[in-house]
């Protein structure tokens, strides 16, 4: 019987300047990883420069105007998208075990992470996406922005 493969469960949290990637940009991405035994195995965070030609969506502009300090945090030490996504992919590759993304595939977080990794690294470094794994892994707790509110977990 072959040995069981180790798994690292990964959760992401993003900030963007619009509803979809391409016309709008990913501004920050944070990720946390947990071993299949339940312990934390690493974190990742980076700010990402805007895409050339992308625009700030009018609704996002109104939201960011209310959070000007948070906007400035997303722009500090930002990296070109290819550099930021390559760093994320390398971090995922170095996790113990096979990375499995824990995400709601209908959320903007999934959409932006998927699009950016495919566009700038040419690959999807996750072995699978699991929307049912418990407990929730909350990368949002790593977010440095004052306007972020951690998910409220049901008891």
What's the pLDDT tens digit per position in 75-128?
999 999 999 999 999 999 999 889 999 988 888 899 999 999 999 999 999 988
Q: What is the pLDDT of residue 77?
A: 94
Give 127's strand partners. Answer: none
In percent, how much of the chain has pLDDT > 90?
64
**Options 3.20.20.10, 3.30.750.200, 3.30.420.10, 3.90.1300.10; which CATH number does 11-142 get?**
3.30.420.10
How high is the mean pLDDT of the chain? 86
38 Cβ contact list (under 8 Å, min separation 6): none
Least confident stretch, 74-78, 112-116, 129-133, 148-152: 148-152
83 Cβ contact list (under 8 Å, min separation 6): none
147 Cβ contact list (under 8 Å, min separation 6): 67, 70
What is the value of pTM for the model shown?
Answer: 0.86
State how far the Cα of 45 lies from the Cα of 130, in Å rounded to an integer.
21
Question: In the block, which residue shows the tokens 């590759």?
Answer: 93
Q: What is the pLDDT of residue 155?
A: 36
């Amino acid at each position: 019987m072959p040995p069981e493969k180790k798994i690292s469960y990964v959760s992401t949290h993003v900030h963007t300047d619009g509803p979809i990637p391409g016309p709008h940009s990913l501004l920050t991405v944070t990720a946390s990883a947990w071993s299949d035994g339940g312990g934390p195995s690493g974190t990742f965070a980076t700010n990402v420069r805007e895409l050339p030609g992308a625009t700030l969506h009018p609704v996002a502009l109104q939201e960011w105007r209310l959070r000007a300090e948070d906007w400035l945090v997303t722009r500090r030490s930002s990296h070109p998208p290819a550099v930021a996504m390559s760093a994320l992919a390398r971090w995922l590759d170095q996790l113990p075990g096979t990375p499995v993304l824990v995400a709601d595939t209908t959320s903007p977080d999934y959409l932006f992470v998927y699009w950016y990794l495919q566009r700038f690294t040419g690959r999807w470094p996750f072995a699978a996406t699991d929307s049912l794994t418990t407990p929730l892994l909350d990368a949002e707790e790593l977010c440095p922005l004052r306007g972020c509110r951690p998910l409220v977990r049901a008891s």
